């Protein structure tokens, strides 16, 4: 038989990250690489109760085909959770927020369409966009996010959208500041540039909530993606999008063609768990745990990296911290040595759609425990010292 | 903001079927329209037990991110269920078999690629293919499936694959006969034409199992799609595909980009339910129920349509029966009158990718009960008589 692959598959390559994560699954490795929420935060008894209730009270509907838009009460709950007036009719439940990226790509990207992304940006978004063959354009960014002037310059002519992850970004952990949000929105409005706003981590703030989402300030100009992965559990694959009327119907048709609908059962279980004030009680415990682990990582870095020209940021929430190594260190080449010493991280290069900064790396502070973080950072510092000695 | 939609969205239109199904949700309507499995067949207590066990014994892993390929034991169980030697490494768990269609389309269809389909064919497949902008080509078909000579003629040059639903097809209920399978495989081999084989209904046979799948006879030349929707419950959105090495890696990359993985939790729950001999005990009860309902529909048709030139087939399994109305009847125009009289069906026209036979309709015999089927067919016969009087 002659299997002829579609031309787009030439651009679809195994995720560098995925290959790295395989390395880190070896026994004995402390992984600061993956973006896996701490299993300690999974509300297992609440899920068990919810499963039993859903199957007892609503089993036939929970196991039947259902509307592509999603389970009505869950759409209403999502709308009620968001910090602006959202019509539940504009909410679409997705099979993880990753699916929202796939649907947006299908509906908004033609081959060669310019799509603006942060420097660096979420690798999974690049992967979701790739099959639609966009031309990704990296917008210059600093510690507060994208630079509005560069955004405006690259928007014209005809960029389809800018993909932004404003809160505790993956991979950098940085947050788009309030002033920067105002300037970004002004630049987008001036150039007619739609925004694809991804907010999987926004609830994981440590000291104060992040500024209001961009979509809240211009609901007609943005598609907003959210997720239950970081506040309930990722294994449910439950996310959602909120889209303006200009694009919702096509996103819905794309959704229907992809998987008909997100599982009826998991949608009902999640609704049963979150209805009432569950999240108000549960999410603060995740924040407290992750803050403690971030602090442990910061303390370990300060202590173990002393005297090295290693720089890092102080994320105000989320799961990740971004490091920059001294001159002469390529983190991709450092990784095998680190794995040898029992610690894994993600090199920064794959997160850049344009020129990469090979000295960067992403560390997750949520999966490993405080004592593991301490040991892992010590091992990493040792590897850096060795590498510097060899430069 | 300026939302510019991708060119492909012009071809993505609301499903005619979906709009019809909305009509049929009015209270008091007996629907023979939807392809909804009977909720009586959902093993609710088994699901309740499985959920409790999975969360008790394996909660953290069931709620965590997981491999894009799917849950190992479920992939092994799928391989073991299939009637040919399948390596679990070639099994990919999908979010419903609908997702298998989306992934295959992404990996195999370029804009303008010729994709061969049956006459008529499953509407959901056409919808899944559409965003990749194929040129669907209808292969002439009779009661035994596609005609091998027409298949061979339309395969050359360069058709990407033929999409076949060999068992108890949606919409016609027909089955590709053993002799026809042999001839279809020969035609495909002669022309180097890959096969996309969709088998959601194969287990729902009434008197004897259908012939061996095409993929079983040429595993390197076919992607095989299967589903738990009709033997467990559709609300889980659990399907799978088996693909040869020539295409598996790209299907896997496409899967990863779409939703990272199918829910870890539902995969484990399904595995807990089916491990051991559950399906051997459960599936025969579905077969018996659906056979009884098919027989009720056949009896009602014989009785109520007497004297009318209405023709129908006798499906050997599955969920659907295919009717052809007398000269002068357009089933799309008949539908509103039928809904007025309390019965709904699906007009045949949307299932044709080429010239449609407007006299056809699809009836489902699995959702409504025996007494509802009897009343619905009586009402339908009344509507046909009225329409004929007006011709």
A2 located within any domain? no
Q: Based on C-alpha coordinates, what's the Rg of chain A?
A: 21
Looking up residue B200, the CATH number of its domain turns out to be 3.40.640.10
Collect all residues of chain A within an 8 Å Cβ-Cβ radius of residue B15: 253, 256
A 103-122 near B (Cβ less than 8 A)? 106-110, 113
Q: What pLDDT does residue A17 have?
A: 67
**Judgement on whether residues B384 and B331 belong to the same structural domain of the protein:** yes
Domain that holds residue A332: 10-35+280-390
Phi/psi for B74 (5° steps) reads -70, -40
**Judgement on whether residues A233 and A365 belong to the same structural domain of the protein:** no
Give B247's pLDDT tier (boundaries 50, 70, 90). very high
Q: Has residue B318 got a pLDDT over 90? A: yes
Q: Which residues of chain A have pLDDT under 70?
A: 16-18, 20-21, 24
A1 located within any domain? no
Closest Cα in chain A, distance from residue B189 (Å)? 6
CA-nearest residue to A115 within chain B is B4
Helices of type H across chain B: 16-23, 44-62, 72-81, 97-108, 123-129, 148-155, 178-191, 214-217, 248-259, 264-274, 278-304, 331-340, 370-390
* Domain stop point among A228, A250, A275: A275
Average pLDDT over residues B69-95: 98
Give me the residue from B47, B192, B256 closest to A15, CB to CB. Answer: B256
**Judgement on whether residues B122 and B227 belong to the same structural domain of the protein:** yes
Q: What pLDDT does residue A368 have?
A: 93
Closest Cα in chain A, distance from residue B285 (Å)? 17
B55 located within any domain? no
Looking up residue B364, the CATH number of its domain turns out to be 3.90.1150.10
Q: Has residue B34 got a pLDDT over 90? A: no
Q: What pLDDT does residue B215 have?
A: 98
**Judgement on whether residues A75 and A94 belong to the same structural domain of the protein:** yes
B54 located within any domain? no
**Judgement on whether residues B140 and B287 belong to the same structural domain of the protein:** no
**Judgement on whether residues A104 and A18 belong to the same structural domain of the protein:** no
* Domain stop point among A251, A275, A299: A275
**Judgement on whether residues B217 and B287 belong to the same structural domain of the protein:** no
pLDDT tens-digit map of A9-30: 999 987 766 676 677 677 889 9
Collect all residues of chain A within an 8 Å Cβ-Cβ radius of residue B66: 235
Q: Would an 8 Å CB–CB cutoff place B208 in contact with chain A?
A: no
Closest Cα in chain B, distance from residue A97 (Å)? 8
Q: What pLDDT does residue B17 have?
A: 67
**Judgement on whether residues A269 and A335 belong to the same structural domain of the protein:** no
A 249-268 near B (Cβ less than 8 A)? 249-250, 253-254, 256-266
Q: What pLDDT does residue B28 have?
A: 87
Average pLDDT over residues B111-117: 97
Q: What percent of chain B has pLDDT over 90?
A: 93
**Judgement on whether residues B134 and B153 belong to the same structural domain of the protein:** yes
CA-nearest residue to B160 within chain A is A4
Cβ(A69)–Cβ(A90) under 8 Å? no
List, as own/partner pairs, every contact residues B178-185 make where C-beta atoms lie below 8 angstroms and the sequence separation is at least 24, other chains included. B178/B211, B179/B144, B180/B144, B180/B145, B180/B146, B180/B148, B181/B211, B181/B212, B181/B214, B181/B217, B183/B148, B184/B145, B184/B146, B184/B148, B184/B151, B184/B214, B185/B214, B185/B217, B185/B218
Q: Would an 8 Å CB–CB cutoff place A369 in contact with chain B?
A: no
The DSSP result for B22-70, as a single string, is HHTTSTTPEES-S-PPPGGG--HHHHHHHHHHHHHHHHHHHTS---TT-
Q: What pLDDT does residue A27 have?
A: 82
Q: Report the helix count and the strand count for chain A, using DSSP H and E.
A: 13, 15
Q: Using the beta-carbon criterion (under 8 Å), do A106 and B6 form an inter-chain contact?
A: yes
Phi/psi for A321 (5° steps) reads -130, 145
For strand A161-164 and strand A114-117, is the pairing parallel, antiparallel, or unpaired? parallel
A 26-45 near B (Cβ less than 8 A)? 34-37, 39, 42, 44
Give B154's pLDDT tier (boundaries 50, 70, 90). very high
Q: What pLDDT does residue B156 have?
A: 81
B47 located within any domain? no
A129 located within any domain? yes
Average pLDDT over residues B140-161: 95
* Domain stop point among B240, B275, B310: B275
Q: Has residue B20 got a pLDDT over 80? A: no
Tally the domains of chain B: 2
**Judgement on whether residues A100 and A213 belong to the same structural domain of the protein:** yes
A4 located within any domain? no
**Judgement on whether residues B261 and B296 belong to the same structural domain of the protein:** no
ipTM: 0.96
Give me the residue from A5, A127, A265 closest to B256, CB to CB. Answer: A127
**Judgement on whether residues B302 and B208 belong to the same structural domain of the protein:** no
Q: Using the beta-carbon criterion (under 8 Å), do A107 and B4 form an inter-chain contact?
A: no
Closest Cα in chain B, distance from residue A93 (Å)? 13
A3 located within any domain? no
CB neighbour burial string for A204-242, b if at least 16 within 10 angstroms, e if fewer? bbbeeebbebbbbbbbebbbbbbbbbbbbbbbbbbbbbb
Q: Using the beta-carbon criterion (under 8 Å), do A13 and B257 form an inter-chain contact?
A: no
């Amino acid at each position: 038989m002659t299997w002829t692959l579609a031309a787009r598959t030439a651009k679809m390559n195994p995720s560098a990250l995925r290959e790295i994560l395989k390395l880190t699954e070896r026994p004995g490795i402390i992984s600061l690489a993956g973006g896996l929420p701490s299993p300690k935060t999974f509300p297992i008894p609440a899920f068990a109760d919810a499963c039993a209730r859903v199957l007892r009270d609503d089993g036939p509907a929970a196991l039947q085909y259902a509307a592509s838009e999603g389970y009505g009460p869950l759409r209403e709950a999502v709308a009620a959770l968001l910090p602006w007036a959202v019509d539940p009719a504009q909410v679409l439940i997705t099979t993880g927020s990753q699916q929202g990226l796939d649907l947006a790509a299908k509906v908004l990207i033609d081959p060669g369409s310019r799509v603006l992304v942060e420097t660096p940006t979420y690798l999974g978004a690049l992967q979701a966009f790739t099959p639609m063959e966009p031309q990704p354009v990296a917008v210059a960014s600093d510690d507060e996010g994208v630079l509005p002037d560069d955004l405006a310059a690259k928007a014209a002519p005809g960029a389809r959208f800018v993909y932004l992850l404003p809160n505790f970004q993956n991979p950098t952990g940085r947050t788009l500041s309030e002033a920067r949000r105002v300037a970004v929105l002004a630049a987008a409005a001036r150039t007619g540039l739609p925004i694809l706003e991804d907010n999987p981590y926004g609830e994981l703030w440590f000291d104060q909530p992040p500024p209001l989402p961009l979509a809240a300030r211009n609901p007609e100009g943005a598609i907003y993606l959210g997720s239950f992965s970081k506040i309930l559990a990722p294994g449910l694959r439950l996310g959602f999008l909120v889209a303006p009327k200009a694009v919702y119907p096509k996103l819905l048709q794309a959704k229907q063609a992809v998987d008909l609908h997100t599982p009826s059962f998991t949608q009902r279980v999640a609704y049963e768990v979150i209805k009432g004030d569950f999240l108000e009680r549960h999410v603060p415990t995740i924040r407290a745990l992750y803050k403690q682990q971030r602090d442990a990582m910061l303390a370990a870095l300060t202590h173990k990296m002393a005297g090295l020209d290693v720089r890092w940021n102080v994320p105000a929430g989320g799961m990740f911290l971004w490091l920059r190594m001294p001159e002469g260190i390529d983190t991709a080449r450092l990784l095998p040595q680190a794995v040898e010493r029992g610690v894994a991280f993600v090199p920064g290069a794959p997160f850049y759609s344009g020129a990469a900064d090979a000295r960067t790396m992403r560390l997750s502070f949520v999966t490993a425990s405080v004592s593991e973080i301490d040991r892992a950072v010590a091992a990493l510092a040792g590897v850096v010292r060795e590498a510097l000695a060899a430069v």
